Amino acid sequence: MTMPQPKARPDTDTGPAAKIRLDGVTKRFGAKTVLDGLSVAVGEGQSLVIIGGSGSGKSVTLKCILGLLRADAGHIWVDGQDVTTMSERERKTMLKRFGMLFQGAALFDSLPVWENVAFGLIQGRGVKRRDARDIAIDKLARVGLAADVGALFPAELSGGMQKRVGLARAIATEPEIIFFDEPTTGLDPIMADVINDLIVECVRDLGATTISITHDMASARKIAHTMAMIYHGRIIWSGPAAQIDQSGNDYVDQFIHGRAEGPIRMEVLKG
Amino acid sequence: MIHLLHDFLVIVGRYAISAFAAIGRLSGFAGSALSHIVRPPLYLGLTGRQMLSIGYFSLPVVGLTALFTGSALAQQVYIASTRFNAESAVASVNVIAIVRELGPVLGGLMVAGRVSSAMAAELGTMRVTEQIDALTTLSTDPMKYLVVPRLIAAVVTLPLLVIVANTIGVFGGFVVATQRLGFNAASYLQVTVDYLEASDVISSLVKAAVFGLIIAMMGSYHGYHSRGGAQGVGRATTNAVVSAFILILLANLIITVMVFGT
């Protein structure tokens, strides 16, 4: 199978002013190449949604930007600083500007909800617990949760509530950059739409730059300014969200319409 | 024949490489964890909570182990010593065996079974549910926040637990000797005190601290590097306990030879 070559991407490739730029990023796990020279960029205040199938390298992309995984080759620039050559201390300072909503919310089981939301303020910013608690209650209200939810533990919450607490935690420090990892996976369609609306509102209020990864096209259409599709560890198409239906790319068309037939072959053994 | 030899060497080589890789990973993890102990911030509240969990909540199991072992030991030593008319050795043998070996080793093994598994399961679950990644994105070093408090708590708490275990073990022997074997209480205690040397107590406490380090290190290491969902967490838990047991017994042998071998 021949790999499609990336097209020109004037809308996401915002030149030196790009808030985040990945340039030829490669990541291997043993013999498996997950990212194969991936290049993409997002401008300040923009919302980039990376779409792609399971195992295509979406989560690895975010983890490489955050430094949770070290890229084997290529460069990752955040505000002109190369993340791949940063010291541990520089990376820690950089991470203070980030917020992240994890796929499974990743709330700390041992802490009550309000402390989960306030964690970045207390540990990362040194805010006093009482002040942090007030901010946490505000953020919980921002995502539609009552103050008394703050006293509960994550195990006592539904999946949708956990996602909302995760979103409150991601925005609690009012970060410049927010990542959303599969924000609607595992939620019913209505709750998924509630989360999408909250993401759009929160990001608009903060003026944050965001990268989201998803395979939920309804979510992607709602939250994206620009979209990029990842396939076999490379960006095969990127452009304004409104143009996704006229991409002229067979891979993108197959994916956004959810068709089993097309150039993308699922690795499924048929009996 | 050459094929068989080739296959055999491939298997041996594969195991050797994976063993060296594991030793390298563990050394790197231990070095990183220990270096974080001397660099602020230290999470004292979390350390205190771990001390409560490792120390206070292990008291019943460690105390009962010491009580039953000390009592059985007194009975056994009495039966053995009657064969060569040395019944008076019960008190001295009991206190030396308990303080030098059985208190720290059995106490360490019991705590390893209870604590290493719990640490591996907790950190392993945090790993597979991305809670450890979440800590990093919230500007908190997981090594400092999760591993260092457990290490400090275990190293500080194990010696205290072993003091309790030693005391209860000797008491168990005292009860059996005086209530069942007809020993005089005052003279039994006098012999116990006379035969107990400072080096016995110091070696006991050093062993306990080392065992504490092993317990926390194995629990944290295997949990921290857990992979692959529930099965991975289960594997990490088993590996933590087994490796802690083996390393405790090995460390005990090394310390015993170093302190008492000359």
Please give the DSSP secondary-structure letter assigned to residue A248: -
Angle CA(A255)–CA(A257)–CA(A263) in degrees, nearest 5? 45
Q: Which residues of A touch B134 (CB under 8 A)?
A: 100, 102, 106-108
- Average the pLDDT over B67-93 and give the result: 91
- Residue B174 has which token pair? 């005292």
**How far lies B207's CA from each of A262, B118, B251, in Å?**
66, 22, 8
Q: Which residues of B touch A100 (CB under 8 A)?
A: 134, 137
Choose, out of A123, A139, A174, A211, the residue to mutate when testing the contact with B (most B CBs < 10 Å).
Answer: A123
Q: pLDDT, tens digit, for every residue of A209-220?
A: 999 998 889 899
What integer pLDDT is reported at residue A267 of this predicted model? 58
Q: Report the share of chain A in percent with pLDDT over 90.
A: 49
> Which residues lie closer than 8 Å to A41 by C-beta, 6 or more apart?
A12, A13, A14, A18, A20, A21, A22
- Whether a cis peptide bond, with omega within 30° of 0, leads into B41 is yes
Whether B205 shows a pLDDT value over 90: the answer reads yes
- Residue A99 has which token pair? 């917020």
Q: In terms of CA atoms, which chain B residue is nearest residue A175?
A: B138
What integer pLDDT is reported at residue A62 of this predicted model? 93
Whether A6 shows a pLDDT value over 50: the answer reads no
Q: Which residues of A touch B138 (CB under 8 A)?
A: 119-120, 123-124, 169
Task: Establish if A86 touches chain B: CB-CB under 8 angstroms.
Answer: no
> CB–CB of A95 and B130 under 8 A?
no
- Residue A260 has which token pair? 């089993």
Cβ pair A66, A100 in contact under 8 A: yes
Task: Return the minimum-mean-pLDDT range out of A194-208, A228-242, B109-123.
Answer: A194-208
> CB–CB of A68 and B145 under 8 A?
no
Burial of B160 (0-12, 13-18, 19+ CB in 10 A): middle
Q: Which residues of B touch A66 (CB under 8 A)?
A: 133, 136-137
> CB–CB of A100 and B129 under 8 A?
no
**Helical spans, DSSP H, in chain B:** 2-37, 44-54, 59-82, 89-96, 103-111, 117-128, 131-137, 142, 148-179, 185-195, 198-224, 229-260
Q: What is the 3-state secondary structure (H, E, C) of A44-55?
A: CCCEEEEECCCC
Length of chain A: 271
ipTM (interface pTM): 0.84
Residue showing tokens 């209870």: B114
Task: Establish if B68 touches chain A: CB-CB under 8 angstroms.
Answer: no
d(CA A177, CA B132) in angstroms, rounded, equals: 20
What integer pLDDT is reported at residue A17 of this predicted model? 67
Task: Strand A81-82: give its sheet, edge to edge.
Answer: A32-42, A20-29, A73-78, A81-82
d(CA B218, CA A48) in angstroms, rounded, equals: 42
Q: pLDDT, tens digit, for every residue of A22-42?
A: 999 999 998 899 999 999 999
What integer pLDDT is reported at residue A264 of this predicted model? 82
Amino acid at the residue A66: L
Choose, out of A94, A96, A108, the residue to mutate when testing the contact with B (most B CBs < 10 Å).
Answer: A108
d(CA A210, CA A224) in angstroms, rounded, equals: 9
Average pLDDT, chain A: 87
